[in-house]
Chain A
């Protein structure tokens, strides 16, 4: 349905978007993940028609949108800090888009009532928006965007301003609504947990380009890039050096693995803890222990490096509490990263 082709954008003489291309299918929820300032919100603004790319095209159903003004695009947009109209009450906020489309009053009333039930705030019609809690405001903002049954829903860090427990609640609610309505959605966030929870596909924006575009499962299995593994918090990224073909030396010992790098070059490896005893086993020295969700997170170091090389350490989970200073055995899967 929606397609971005080679979008580029310069801001203050900096190329924040270099060559961004992606597509969204009907009913699909994609997550645009990237650090703050990476240009995620700019992409949404350009899709909405509130900003313009310096190069490239935005198409919807194969039609170029460049000459369509925002109010005729029929897309919904929800911002991080809600941006409800402070001079209107809940009803008028939700009804805003419907009124712009000149719907009859009865239809508007019915639609607003249905939406309020859907977001669990029925009876809130006459409330002032600035008297509502953050979670309530964000649900109103969502209802306002959904009211017109847009062809596409864009959510710009919609849960960024809310606290953890509220976040989980709303995330579930949002997922259900997106499933029911089948409205394709772009969800922008820098929070990997949110991304994995809601996305059918995750797009990772880094340095102005999309470096990964895959399902959450695939990305988790093979993050492929150091930045991806680090932003998503997948496994441990450790540094190593290729000492011979198929041999990489790290602080946790020498592994047999074939990375692209040549002999003598530095390489980043991904260590993922595994429960399979057949996998590679390494010995680590326990440095610190944190209790985490009925397990123990063990901060540890390897001691296979000699000389001046600095150990960065790695984290693993243990069922039983080890002692500090003790050496324990951990099974890991090892992969190369770019």
Chain B
């Protein structure tokens, strides 16, 4: 039996061994290099990037809370028309690829953005841009964790405190706040962790001047090669993310045990103050979350050629040029292939990722559906790639496979490493939900093992499999960090193409970036909707 079980683990385990643990040891071995460790310049770079990472992550988290806490109150305490729609909209950014978010803000606020037609200001390359995008991404975390805790908070506890003589401040200070503390802490940790490891947003909106650990690893791996330094930075990064995830797991466990689930206490805003609060916040949230996402497709279809002529001779108008250009292979193009080829590449990579992650993940999910001690021991190993950053995965590939990396197969392999935990986590509960008795009943009724699988397991699992496949597909489509490090110039993916277009001057390049980002946004949003629709009332934190 045990022997059979190990076979279930073998494919995934071998895969991880070769493509994750081996590169990890390569990175580790590079860090034991005294000349790098003692080099003053390296120390300075390490110190600065570490400080800046903490600085921007702290600021981002703070700002996310400033928007997130009132929003959590809004969604948990009040009922208003369009509430579930607004709540869904705030959750969209979290699942969008970083390049799309960066392009979206660029299309609204960037130097060629829609708003810059009316006012002129510096947006790209500022810390503000990074911070705004981080708030855009992570507010939904605060809304979800703190909002849930708030709506589960028994209002009678606060009432008890009031009757016992506590004024509203003391009620908050001694009852509400202590009860919410685990949720506040957990969401703060998660938001901080995401900001700490943020890469695409910082590179695309801030530029390489804003060197966080992650950006610095990328710079030292590709632009100003110093692989030893990149390895050291990776290990520091891994160390911190591991600490944050341990702390997060600990606090999130306390969140649900302290309060009792209850029916919704949300009510319509009644007093003037409440109405103003709800109206203002709804307006603010809609503007903040909808404008960038709408301005992206609009900008991709708009001619705003302010750059060529004089400012006062701007030609406005509708255009499909940017989309048409995607199919043309220009001589001075940034690519050897027509840009649209990037879309085909992305889709093929995504397809291969789905294939890989399903065939590796399915046996593991079967093993985990009825876990033995061995399974429980092996399980966390599979989650490790999640804790390491994408850029680090890329660095590991470069260090381990050298010239072999020219094979385009390495991109979907990297994507599989990232998608595998999600695939397993999606399949496992579905497999677990099939009672053993069902299979036994089918076989006593005369069904062969194949027939059992066909008639029982497949119909039940097809939904979960579709969800898992969509997860893998979406992750692969939007993946930026690892791909940036390992992809070949002649096989660009959509995110890479967007990044290259954005980093080049000229209205046409900019427009094409917008067009590609719009396509990617449509693809991923469709996938998200598909996942939401097929997901069988599964709820968890994240």
Q: Are A71 and B156 in contact (CB under 8 A)?
A: no
Residues of chain A contacted by B156 (CB below 8 angstroms): 79, 81, 83
| Contact A100 to B166, CB < 8 A, known contacts A83-B154, A86-B258, A87-B179 | yes
Q: Are B159 and A101 in contact (CB under 8 A)?
A: no
Interface centre among A50, A76, A81 (most CB of B within 10 A): A50
Q: Is A69 an interface residue (CB 8 A)?
A: yes
Q: Are A96 and B164 in contact (CB under 8 A)?
A: yes
| Contact A70 to B162, CB < 8 A, known contacts A86-B259, A87-B179, A87-B258 | yes
Q: Is B174 an interface residue (CB 8 A)?
A: yes
Complex CA–CA separation, A324 to B163 (angstroms) = 57
Q: Which residue of B lies closest to A141 (CB)?
A: B160
Residues of chain B contacted by A71 (CB below 8 angstroms): 162-167, 170-171
Q: Would you give the 0/1 interface string for B171-198, flagging 1 where the beta carbon is closer than 8 Å to chain A? A: 1001100110000000000000000000
**A-to-B contact residues, CB < 8 Å:** 45, 48-50, 69-77, 79, 81, 83, 85-87, 96-97, 100-101, 144-145, 148
The A-B contact count (CB < 8 A) is 67
**B-to-A contact residues, CB < 8 Å:** 154, 156-157, 159-167, 170-171, 174-175, 178-179, 258-259
Complex CA–CA separation, A49 to B164 (angstroms) = 12
Q: Are A85 and B157 in contact (CB under 8 A)?
A: yes
Residues of chain A contacted by B165 (CB below 8 angstroms): 71-72, 74, 97, 100-101, 148
Q: Are A148 and B179 in contact (CB under 8 A)?
A: no
Q: Are A50 and B162 in contact (CB under 8 A)?
A: yes
Residues of chain B contacted by A76 (CB below 8 angstroms): 163-164
Q: How far is the CB of B397 from chain A (nearest CB, A)?
A: 48
Residues of chain A contacted by B258 (CB below 8 angstroms): 86-87
Residues of chain B contacted by A75 (CB below 8 angstroms): 163
Q: Are A77 and B179 in contact (CB under 8 A)?
A: no
**19 A-B interface contacts by CB (under 8 A):** A45-B159, A48-B162, A50-B159, A71-B162, A71-B165, A71-B166, A74-B165, A75-B163, A76-B164, A81-B156, A83-B157, A85-B161, A86-B179, A86-B258, A87-B178, A96-B161, A96-B164, A97-B165, A145-B163
Q: Are B170 and A100 in contact (CB under 8 A)?
A: yes
Complex CA–CA separation, A45 to B162 (angstroms) = 11
Residues of chain B contacted by A50 (CB below 8 angstroms): 159, 162-163
Q: Which residue of A lies closest to B163 (CB)?
A: A77
3 nearest A-B residue pairs (beta carbon): A97-B164, A100-B165, A70-B162
Q: How far is the CB of B159 from chain A (nearest CB, A)?
A: 5
Complex CA–CA separation, A280 to B166 (angstroms) = 61
Residues of chain B contacted by A86 (CB below 8 angstroms): 157, 179, 258-259
Q: Which residue of A lies closest to B154 (CB)?
A: A83
Complex CA–CA separation, A87 to B175 (angstroms) = 8
Residues of chain B contacted by A69 (CB below 8 angstroms): 162, 167
Interface centre among A76, A86, A101 (most CB of B within 10 A): A86
Q: How far is the CB of A50 from chain B (nearest CB, A)?
A: 5
Q: How far is the CB of A102 from chain B (nearest CB, A)?
A: 10
Interface contacts beyond A77-B160, A86-B258, A86-B259: sample of 17 additional A-B pairs, CB < 8 Å, sorted by A: A49-B162, A50-B162, A50-B163, A69-B167, A70-B162, A71-B162, A71-B163, A71-B167, A71-B170, A76-B163, A77-B159, A85-B175, A86-B157, A87-B178, A87-B179, A100-B166, A145-B164
